Amino acid sequence: MLFNSYEFLFAYLPVVFLLFFIIGKRHHLSAAAFLGLASLFFYAWFSIGALPILLGSIVINYLFGLKISATSQKAWLTLAIIFNLALLSFFKYANFFIDNVNYLSHSSDTLPILDIALPIGISFFTFTQIAFLVDCYQGQVKEKNFVHYLLFVTYFPHLIAGPVLHHAQMMPQFAKKETYTLDYEKIALGLLVFTMGLAKKILIANPLGEYADSFFNGVDTESTPNFGNAWLGTLAYTFQIYFDFSGYTDMAIGISLLFGIHLPINFNAPYQATNIIEFWRRWHISLSNFLRDYLYIPLGGNKKGISQRYINLMITMILGGLWHGANWTFILWGLAHGLLLSWNHFWRSLAISQVLNQRILKPLFWLFTFIVICLTWVVFRVDHVHHLEPIYRGLLGLNGFDNIKSSWAFAEHLKASRLYELLGISFLIIYLGKPSHHLLDSLRQWHQKTLWIPLGLKLNVVALATFLFMMYCINMVGNYNPFLYFQF
């Protein structure tokens, strides 16, 4: 049940929205319980077979949390983290381990491949609960109501593809009486943010994804993509993954606002970054914060000397890459960003970096950073490590500069001119545009400057315009409609 599907928009969401506030008028905790059950139904729609795994994880982690809070014993925290990592490793990495053992032993029959399916969203709900357990150990968890905990973990706008939530961001909101009262301003803003995300996904990410897939899926060890096609395919994926994931996050934030609940900002114009450190402060912010707070800092962060700092960065980013999937490509992607972050920190420590860090050079720093990000996305996207060589040869021009149309077939209904338009629009948005939360700030400022216009009228105009644009976007949904981060 995708956010842009008819069953979600015209059945699930309206019914859950209405019942939540109807129940909330009478009893807040019952409304929270209902929303938790509705979230479990949402998850079961994708994979009812994985529902017991999610429920078991929630119950066991909640009990672990109570025990850790009561005893403050590190042994209980260690046991709880081992449980979560074992669960995640079994479903996500067991066959990866078996494949590598069989490869190293030069036999395909040494260990049999397990017949297991990856539960959707397991990485997100596992990381969410590990953070909760660590906070229990540190005495930071005050709210221990099971209904609120269930809703915190399963809350359907974020459950499948994030953002990675912190209990302090969510559970206090579930305890506020204001959450269970209709707020028409939040509803209007929520619809607006949702539609912005829907437009990113349907009008930009999907058509770019078709070309990116036609390029990357056509690569093999015998491929010789030319310079133009290699860069078109790479740029198409660079923009696809941003608008796909950013669009999903905007939709999640918008849906959550309908229920009066604020989700954390997950993107802040990451492709406007002028260095890799800044990029990671802007990209997938909730995951970056998790890796910093629960991995990098516990390893020692930058408190144990320069050499150890770089080692900690490498460990953090490699594990962050592995979190995305059981493939050597993700490990290499994490390794690449670990090296880039280490170099960035080393560069900042040099006196010459302060001399060169002038405003006039910012465009060059931005261009260099953007190109590096594009190059690393290739590692993230390819299916096999041995597909990297022909693509990088093409990107460097080593495969020639033949006419673009002569080497790779476009998707049948996607013309070259359409691709150029999409890439141009994408570039303007990422370089000049503002993230959704800035737009909301601008709307609030506009409201303050136009107090002479009745608030109800303004909200109705925004809601009507948003609804019409939403219908247009929904009408543009085609057969190609993947959400990239569902696989992580």
pLDDT tens profile 87-104: 999 999 999 998 888 888
| Predicted structure pTM score | 0.90
Q: How far apart are CA 267 and CA 286, in angstroms?
A: 9
Position 107 scores a pLDDT of 65
The answer to whether residue 152 scores a pLDDT higher than 50 is yes
Euclidean distance between the first and final Cα of the chain, in Å? 17
When pLDDT is averaged across residues 321-349 and rounded to a whole number, the result is: 93
Instruction: Find out whether 218 and 401 touch, Cβ atoms under 8 Å.
Output: no
Helices and strands, number each (H, E), in the chain: 22, 0
Instruction: Find out whether 151 and 36 touch, Cβ atoms under 8 Å.
Output: yes
Position 465 scores a pLDDT of 82
The answer to whether residue 413 scores a pLDDT higher than 60 is no
Q: How far is CA 87 from CA 41, 122, 125, 295, in A?
A: 22, 9, 11, 19
Position 472 scores a pLDDT of 87
% of the chain exceeding 70 in pLDDT? 90
Instruction: Find out whether 125 and 159 touch, Cβ atoms under 8 Å.
Output: yes
Instruction: Find out whether 4 and 198 touch, Cβ atoms under 8 Å.
Output: yes
Q: How far is CA 487 from CA 55, 56, 85, 211, 356, in A?
A: 20, 21, 18, 19, 41
DSSP 201: I
What backbone torsions phi and psi does residue 284 show, to the nearest 5 degrees?
40, 60
Q: How far apart are CA 247 and CA 5, in angstroms?
A: 15
Q: How far apart are CA 470 and CA 77, in angstroms?
A: 46
Q: How far apart are CA 301 and CA 309, in angstroms?
A: 6
Catalytic residues: 324
Instruction: Find out whether 58 and 128 touch, Cβ atoms under 8 Å.
Output: no
The answer to whether residue 288 scores a pLDDT higher than 70 is yes
When pLDDT is averaged across residues 3-29 and rounded to a whole number, the result is: 93
Q: How far apart are CA 338 and CA 318, in angstroms?
A: 7
Q: How far apart are CA 2 and CA 351, in angstroms?
A: 51
When pLDDT is averaged across residues 21-33 and rounded to a whole number, the result is: 94
Position 2 scores a pLDDT of 84
Query: Does a cis peptide bond (omega within 30 degrees of 0) precede residue 207?
Result: no
* Average pLDDT, rounded, for the chain: 87
% of the chain exceeding 90 in pLDDT? 55
pLDDT per residue as tens digits for the range 56-77:
999 999 999 999 999 989 999 9
Q: How far is CA 466 from CA 254, 257, 269, in A?
A: 12, 15, 23
What's the token pair of residue 353?
A: 């970096």
The answer to whether residue 37 scores a pLDDT higher than 90 is yes
When pLDDT is averaged across residues 114-133 and rounded to a whole number, the result is: 89
pLDDT per residue as tens digits for the range 425-482:
999 998 887 777 667 666 666 666 676 677 677 667 777 888 888 888 888 877 777 7
Q: How far apart are CA 309 and CA 306, in angstroms?
A: 5
